[in-house]
Structure 1
Amino acid sequence: MTGKQKLYPYSYATLRAVPRVERGEFVNIGVIIYCQDLDFLRARADVAPERILALDPKANIELIIQAAESVVAACTEPVGTNRENSGLVTRFGMLTAPRSTVVQPSPVHTGLTADPIATLDQLVRLLVLPPD
C-alpha cells in the first residue's frame, strides 16, 4: 500500500447561531468532528458578530460565544454526568442532539479522512468562515 493513506470514517455537524429561534435563521459558527477509529472528538468555533447582528441587531453575542466555547471545551474534557462522559460517541451524540436554543447543531453528516485535524480545518474554512 505505498502512496495510499488509510481513510477513516468520521461524522460532523456544524454549530449554528440562531439569534431568533422563532425565525429559524442561522449563521454557521463552528464544526464538531468525531472519528471513532482514531478516538478523536474536537470542535472549533469562529463567531463573526457582524454576521449574527445582521440577522438580529439585539443578539447577545457574549452568550453565543460562551455557548460555542462550551461545546469546544466539552469535546476535550469531561463535563456533565457520568453517562454523558461514558465515551466519545456518547458525548458526540449529546453535543449534536437537536435543541431549540441560540446555538444549535446541524444534522450529522459523514465522510472519510486520513487526518481529522486537517479535515476539521477544512470544514471550518468551507462551512464557517466567509468566502475569500
Structure 2
Amino acid sequence: MERGEQFNAGVVLYCRAKSFVAARTHLDEAKLRALDPAADAAGVRAALRAVEGVCAGGDAAGQAAGDDPGRRFRWLIAPRSTVVQPGPVHTGLTADPAAEVERLVELLVR
C-alpha cells in the first residue's frame, strides 16, 4: 500500500432498481506475493469474504445486516486505510445484475 501498487481482487455491483448488491472476489496469490512476499494472504482472503458477507446481508453482514442494499454498498465503497480498498465506482446498465457481477469478475479480476 505504501508504494501505491494494487490489483483487482473483486467486484461489487449495486442495482438500486432491483434492490440488489453483490460481491464476487478472487485473490490471485501470485500477484499478491509479487507485490509483497510477506503479505498475509489469509488475512486478505478474510477481508474479501467480509465484503461478500456485507453484500449478502443476514448474519454475515454483522452490524450492516439491517441496512438496505444501497447503504451497504455505500459503506463498502467508502475510502479506508486497509490493505483491501475499494476502487473507483463505474456506472452502467444491465437487465440481469446477478449475471453481470459474474461477467465482471471474470473480465476484471480472474
TM norm. shorter chain > 0.5: yes
Shift of 1:86: 3.1
Is 1:63 the counterpart of 2:43 in the alignment? yes
- Paired position in structure 2 for 1:80: 63
- Paired position in structure 2 for 1:53: 33
- Paired position in structure 2 for 1:24: 4
- Structure number with the higher strand fraction is 1
CA contact (8 A) 2:11 2:101 kept: yes
Q: Which amino acid aligns with 1:80?
A: Q
- Paired position in structure 1 for 2:80: 99
- Paired position in structure 2 for 1:128: 109
Q: Which amino acid aligns with 1:128?
A: V
SS at match of 1:62: helix
CA offsets 1:53-78 (integer angstroms, 9 cap, x no match): 01111111000000000000110124
- Radius of gyration: which is bigger? 1
With the length of structure 1 as denominator, give the TM-score of the two structures.
0.77
| Structure-2 separation of matches of 1:52 and 1:61 | 8
Indicate how the Cα distance of structure 1 residues 81 and 39 shifts in structure 2: closer, same or farther if over 3 A, else same.
Answer: closer
Q: Which runs of 5+ in 2 are unaligned?
A: none
Shift of 1:52: 0.7
With the length of structure 2 as denominator, give the TM-score of the two structures.
0.91
CA contact (8 A) 2:64 2:72 kept: no
Shift of 1:81: 5.5
Question: What fraction of aligned residue pairs are identical, expressed as a percent?
Answer: 45
**CA RMSD across the alignment:** 1.3
Q: What is the number of equivalent residue pairs in this alignment?
A: 107
| Structure-1 separation of matches of 2:4 and 2:77 | 17
CA offsets 1:89-126 (integer angstroms, 9 cap, x no match): 11100011011211000011110001111111111111
- Paired position in structure 2 for 1:90: 71
Structure 1 stretches of 4+ moved >6 Å: none
